[in-house]
Each structure stands twice: as C-alpha cells, then as structure tokens.
Amino acid sequence: MIGLKNDSFFMKEAIRQAEKAFSLNEVPVGAVVVHRNKIIARAHNQVELLRDPTAHAEMLVLTQACNFLNSKWLLDCVIYVTIECCSMCAGALVLSRLKKIIYGADDPKAGACGSIINIAKNKKLNHRIEIKKGVLEQECSLLMEEFFLKKRKEVKKFSRKKKRMLIDKTKISRPS
C-alpha cells in the first residue's frame, strides 16, 4: 500500500509527545489519533500542569480528535499511545467507539487493555476495541524507566539536603 504510513511512524509521533511530557516533568506518556492515515490529534500527559488526575494523554487526545471531526464518536480512528491505557482512558475510548488501540509498552500496575483488567475488550460493554501492543515497546518503556529513575534520584537528593539542614540547625542551637 503505497503512501500509507505504518504503525512505527505513528508511534514515533506518540513518542515525540511523551518526550515533551518528560521535558515538562510530567509522566512521559504521549498519544496521537489517526483517521484515514492522517494524524488528527496529538497530546501528552498534563496531570501536573493542569493539576488534574484525568489529564492523561489519551483523554486529551480523545477530546481533540472529537473536536476535529466534530463528532462524539471516533468510529474509524486508531489511537497510538506509548503506554497501555488505564481503566479511565480505556473506558473513555470505549465510549468514543474508537476502532483500535495500538500501544507500546504494557503497564503491569494499571493497564486496562489486558494487564490488570481488559476494559477495551470487555464483552459486557456495548463496544469493543481491537488492541495491538508492542509497537516500539522498548523506546516507550525506556522513557518511563528513565523518568522514574530521575524522580527517585531527586527524592534522594532532597532528603539528603533536608537531613543536612537539620544537622546544621542543631549545630547552631547548641551552646558553645
């Protein structure tokens, strides 16, 4: 199929979004929505910036895509997202009647496309979404690993600094 872009092409765009999140100190998850082989929406996680626990990349990209199509449904759309969707996002995508979810890496702690639960393919719900996983998996999970490593280092550094401050204080308050 000449001219049709492949899954890695679109996942790279989602990764670019995740990298943006990383640089803004947000958990690095990125997503794009593709309609007829064209990207119609892009977003990254903005939970910290918006102080909103629902501001996941998938939620933001879903709203953008609906606005673009001027439709409450994303019937012929595919979402490319770097990390497996959580239960909130998978639920929202089911409501949007999206056709397919393509994601990079599993989220063993919160993934709702098969890891801890499968909302996207739940037979009791009125819509099921096709799932494909493992597209550029390593790149996607590496970003997450790097991010949480950086966070842990920051916490360590902070607690060391705090300790030092406490020691300094006790030195000062001690009579000579």
Residues that bind Zn ion (CB under 5 A): 56, 86, 88-89
Q: Is 13 a catalytic residue?
A: no
CB of 131 to Zn ion, least distance (A): 15
Each as own residue / partner, the long-range contacts of residues 141-147 (CB below 8 Å, 24 or more positions apart, any chain) are 141/83, 141/104, 141/105, 143/15, 143/18, 143/19, 143/22, 143/28, 143/82, 144/27, 144/28, 144/29, 144/83, 144/105, 146/22, 147/22, 147/27, 147/28
CB of 7 to Zn ion, least distance (A): 21
Helix orientation angle between 7-23 and 137-173, rounded to the nearest 10 degrees: 10
Between 5 and 110, whose beta carbon lies closer to Zn ion? 110
CB of 32 to Zn ion, least distance (A): 15
Between 39 and 61, whose beta carbon lies closer to Zn ion? 61
Set 58, 130, 137, 154: catalytic member: 58
Give the 3-state secondary structure of residue 132. Answer: strand
Between 55 and 142, whose beta carbon lies closer to Zn ion? 55
Q: Tokens 């979404």 identify what position?
A: 129
- Catalytic site residues? 58
